[in-house]
Structure 1
Amino acid sequence: MKKQFAIGPIMIDITGTTLSQYDKEKIAHPNTGAIILFARNYESPRQISELNQQIKSARSGPIFIAVDQEGGRVQRFQNGFTRLPPAAAYADEPELTEDAGWLMAAELLTLGVDFSFAPVLDIDCGVSQIIGNRSFSQDPEQACQLASSYRKGMRSAGMAAIGKHFPGHGAVALDSHLALPVDDRDFDSLYHKDILPFKQLINEGLEGIMPAHVVYPAIDELPAGFSAIWINEILRKQLGFNGTVFSDELSMEGAAAVGDFTERAKLARQAGCDMILVCNNESAAEQVLEATPIEQNSIRDQRLLAMLGKNSFTQQDLKNSLKWKSISQQLTRLSETYA
């Protein structure tokens, strides 16, 4: 009988549209806890459903499957899925927001995906190209309302939500995929604007949060995702967040300032991250999987189990439903205005 592993603390990626033997070996590692899928892994709904079954069969124990399916510029699965508009579109048609969250989640859940890294809770301040219309609004109050509705829709479909990028990526021009942005604002400025959507959704039971690879030197010299001040002191103690903290991707340039990959992973774990993302770099994933101590952590396991998708549809039942057909048509129309 195979040994059953707990949920590991590392999220990794795979190469193609089917599993290689190398992929299976990485998935079977005790420290693997999740797989994030990209556009390169997707061909069709049927193929991705089969791939997700292969992933879960390759693991002795639970494993999560994730994707970035926000809509707009960030939608990994497109052909065979409803084309989703960017978050900013819902300011014009707020009555669609909850339905959009439901549809996005339902389409993924029917094919075996547990969660999407959504919603984006950053406040667009008009300077960040990487955020831009991925943000619900430049107005914090409106962003709070729309994000809350979107998450409500996700939950009604059976999907946990992950707010990103704490405490806010919308006021820096640099892209943290390519550089390390610095936000010089003081804590009060952040708290009364950028942090408001996080605070509201935490109060409503938000399940996951992803910190930003951004430095806020008025608070800490470390990027937020490697900062115990941001994660333990502010996020957990001051804001009362008791869900899962996911690091942003460790291969991003915004993470490079704190050391090599094993050092990045170590710092993220020490700061309070429950799940570490290492993607698009096979060597780095191997290093982190091997260097991370294999530990039992019942509190972390409990947080992570709340992220498990709860599907109640078959794909055929979903696509045949009048609710899906109506919402899909409306979202397709709205997305075309942003094409």
Structure 2
Amino acid sequence: MPHSSPDLARLAMTVLQPGFDGTVPPGWLLRALSEGLGGTVLFARNLTGPAQTAELVARLREENPAVVVAADEEGGSVTRLQASTGSFWPGNRALGVVDDVERTKRISREIGRLLAAADITLDYAPVADVNANPANPVIGIRSFGPDPELVSRQTAAWVTGLQGAGVAACAKHFPGHGDTVTDSHHALPTVHASLDLLRERDLPPFRAAVNAGVQAVMCGHLLVPALDPDNPATLSRKIMTGLLREELGFEGMLVTDAIEMGAVAALHPPGEIAVRALVAGADAICAGITSPDGETVRELRDAIVEAVHDGRLAEDRLAEAAARVLALAGWYGANAATRKADSGGEGDDVGLEVALAAMRVVVADGHGPCLSRPPLVVDIAPRLSRAVDPDTLTGVAGALAELLPGTTACTVTPETAEFPDLGDHERPLVLVAHDAQRRPWVRDLLAQAVRLRPDAIVVETGLPGEPTGAVYVTTNGISRASARAVAQWLTKGQ
């Protein structure tokens, strides 16, 4: 690293938000925090339960009390703190189907209470993308829906509820990841929309979030030619500063999506991405995957410092970015009394209530809705997007087993792509699918199974498709709450 003042190196550390491995903070992370590291992001790999999570965060705060501790806790399929059980609360699609802003506020406030109990500063949520393309491989049920007005009011309600619990919200993925067919974890998506369409469809939810006082916004790794034909949003001053700051009036912290994601990692080395993002207007650089010895963080720091020395990154811009990170930490500190007073909560009852309201059922003629005997549950489990923890399951089999002991289950994966022997035709059969309408192999397996067993119950946990089976249930999302709702309805007909 070129010779520089400790203050400059500290500014560079302040704007970084790395992840780490393990359930205890590694030595390099503690040293970095003592040197002014401004943030860190927690994943399911770091967390084993509420007590351990709180202890982990407390240890981080011993080194830097103002550290911005972040997590992706969207509810539904994307959960870090409840990855082992499934989220107690339905995700955005279910909330959009119900479209009751007061219930949405209740759900997001419960998520805020969960995070507040662990002293987590920032939730990388809500997803404010309008899921305009049903073939979208990474947003889908993470979006409130395809209608901009619905997404706008739901986004504002979600922000209000979460921040009412004293935890900062982060609307993502600016300027809108909904109309894509590429997962930005793997490659750079392009949004092929006119400027007028972007303003009518994709931008209103972010404007609603800003008007609701959202403390942070996350930019998406997206190429949007109508806004900037040359640079993805993460590296575009036109989008980050011109559109978000100057036009929409956002004054809070702007954080990048993880810079190791394929969409931008293929364009530049990590340090160059960080520098260009800061020049474009980002305030915090998220690096979800780092080297075991922390060398990644030191390299990012050094690249930022070198860019200031070379004149590529103005020191005033870096100082502005660091100040916004510290301002978010200050907002969190100022809301300590809110978190303390709001520590009770409703528990997970509101999650089940909303999941039941979001569920839709089509029953074929002559078939009843109830299960009275333990079924065989076949979970057709495609690979979900990399935003979802790899061990995430729908939970339907477990929820049914709680109510009907003796329930058995098996899983069909893309590798097997074939059903086991469906066994005794006298035994009820429940088929669980996810986004069958955009996965031909899942559709084919469902059709095959329903031909053999016309009495099968089909549960779709993704975007609804054409009804099939004797009973067709759509949950509009994956969560513990949604699985419990299915099990309750199927066993009690409620």
TM-score for both structures, normalised by structure 2: 0.62
Amino acid at match of 2:185: H
Cα deviation per residue 1:70-101 (whole Å; 9 max; x = unaligned)? 02221011158852222000123333211011
Structure 1 residues 212, 160: CA separation in 2 closer, same or farther (over 3 Å shift)? same
Deviation at 1:200, TM superposition (A): 1.9
Superposition map of 1:82-161 within 5 A:
83-95=88-100, 96-125=103-132, 126-161=134-169
Superposition map of 1:1-339 within 5 A:
8-30=14-36, 32-59=37-64, 62-78=66-82, 79=84, 83-95=88-100, 96-125=103-132, 126-220=134-228, 221-282=230-291, 283-293=295-305, 297=319, 300-302=322-324, 304-306=326-328, 308-309=331-332, 310-311=335-336, 312-313=338-339, 318=343, 321=344, 323-324=346-347, 326-330=349-353, 335-336=479-480, 338-339=482-483
Check the 8 A contact 2:166/2:339 in 1, yes or no.
no
The residue that corresponds to 2:449 in the other structure is: none
Count of paired positions: 331
Cα distance in 2 for residues equivalent to 1:230 and 1:298:
18
Check the 8 A contact 1:83/1:332 in 2, yes or no.
no
Cα distance in 2 for residues equivalent to 1:198 and 1:181:
19
Check the 8 A contact 2:79/2:87 in 1, yes or no.
no
Structure 1 residues 82, 179: CA separation in 2 closer, same or farther (over 3 Å shift)? closer
Structure 1 residues 27, 80: CA separation in 2 closer, same or farther (over 3 Å shift)? farther
Cα distance in 2 for residues equivalent to 1:48 and 1:213:
29
Cα distance in 2 for residues equivalent to 1:108 and 1:216:
33
Deviation at 1:337, TM superposition (A): 6.7
Give unmatched runs, 5+ long, in structure 1.
none
Amino acid at match of 1:36: V
Structure 1 residues 149, 22: CA separation in 2 closer, same or farther (over 3 Å shift)? same
Cα distance in 1 for residues equivalent to 2:320 and 2:126:
27
Cα deviation per residue 1:251-299 (whole Å; 9 max; x = unaligned)? 0011124311111000000000000111213243331023222967257
Check the 8 A contact 2:77/2:87 in 1, yes or no.
no
Check the 8 A contact 1:81/1:107 in 2, yes or no.
no
Structure 1 residues 262, 82: CA separation in 2 closer, same or farther (over 3 Å shift)? closer
Structure 1 residues 152, 23: CA separation in 2 closer, same or farther (over 3 Å shift)? same
Deviation at 1:332, TM superposition (A): 6.9
Amino acid at match of 2:157: S
SS at the partner of 1:222? coil
Amino acid at match of 1:98: K
SS at the partner of 2:40? strand
Cα distance in 1 for residues equivalent to 2:123 and 2:44:
13
Cα distance in 2 for residues equivalent to 1:87 and 1:297:
35
RMSD of Structure 2 on Structure 1 (CA): 2.5
Cα deviation per residue 1:128-149 (whole Å; 9 max; x = unaligned)? 1200010011111111111111
Amino acid at match of 1:172: T
Deviation at 1:231, TM superposition (A): 0.9
95-104 vs 323-332, greater mean Cα deviation: 323-332
Check the 8 A contact 1:83/1:331 in 2, yes or no.
no
Check the 8 A contact 2:153/2:208 in 1, yes or no.
no
Cα distance in 2 for residues equivalent to 1:21 and 1:167:
37
Give unmatched runs, 5+ long, in structure 2.
1-6, 309-314, 359-478, 484-494
Cα deviation per residue 1:124-178 (whole Å; 9 max; x = unaligned)? 0212120001001111111111111111111211122111001100111100001
Structure 1 residues 171, 300: CA separation in 2 closer, same or farther (over 3 Å shift)? same
Structure 1 residues 238, 147: CA separation in 2 closer, same or farther (over 3 Å shift)? same
Amino acid at match of 2:270: F
Cα distance in 2 for residues equivalent to 1:267 and 1:170:
24
Name which one, 1 or 2, has greater alpha-carbon Rg: 2
Cα distance in 2 for residues equivalent to 1:199 and 1:187:
16
Deviation at 1:314, TM superposition (A): 5.9
Check the 8 A contact 1:45/1:80 in 2, yes or no.
no
SS at the partner of 1:258? coil
Structure 1 residues 233, 331: CA separation in 2 closer, same or farther (over 3 Å shift)? same
Amino acid at match of 1:251: E
Cα distance in 1 for residues equivalent to 2:186 and 2:324:
34
Amino acid at match of 1:91: G
Check the 8 A contact 2:89/2:480 in 1, yes or no.
no
Deviation at 1:199, TM superposition (A): 1.3
Check the 8 A contact 1:70/1:84 in 2, yes or no.
no
Check the 8 A contact 1:244/1:300 in 2, yes or no.
no
